Amino acid sequence: MRRDIPDIIVMNITLSGLDGYSVVRELAKDPRTSSIPLVLIVSNPASQHIFTQDMQTAVKSFLSKPFSIQELVSSVQYVFLSRGLN
């Protein structure tokens, strides 16, 4: 069975029962998901420095809580436009 691969992943780095940083690392290591751009939602803007160079390749944008719907839409639009997606 074929699984669809998303065009973008928007995720909260603080996940219930999961380590968001580990999820990002796993996505970056898997050839099927490594090119999917990530928009990460963080509680503390200072936590952005935790991402290694490998992880930053997929991370295209950060949103710091709280954020507005317009900030979310702008981040997603930026990623789509930079990749030539509509």
The per-residue pLDDT string of the chain (86 residues; one tens digit each, 9 = 90 and over) reads 457 889 999 999 887 888 788 888 888 888 999 889 999 998 876 666 666 555 556 778 889 899 999 999 999 999 888 877 65
Domain containing 54: what range? Answer: 9-83
Joined tokens for residue 62: 């950060």
| Structural domain contains residue 1 | no
Residue 34 lies in a domain: yes
Number of domains in the chain: 1
Q: For the chain, what is the radius of gyration of the CA atoms? A: 13
Instruction: Identify the pLDDT of residue 1.
Output: 45
Query: For residue 79, is it within any domain?
Result: yes
d(CA 78, CA 82): 6
How far, in whole angstroms, is CA 55 from its chain's centroid? Answer: 10
Residue 73, in any domain of the structure = yes
Does residue 21 contact residue 1 with C-beta atoms inside 8 Å? no
Residue 41 · residue 68 · CB < 8 Å? no
Determine, yes or no, domain membership for 66: yes
For residue 66, the domain's CATH number is: 3.40.50.2300
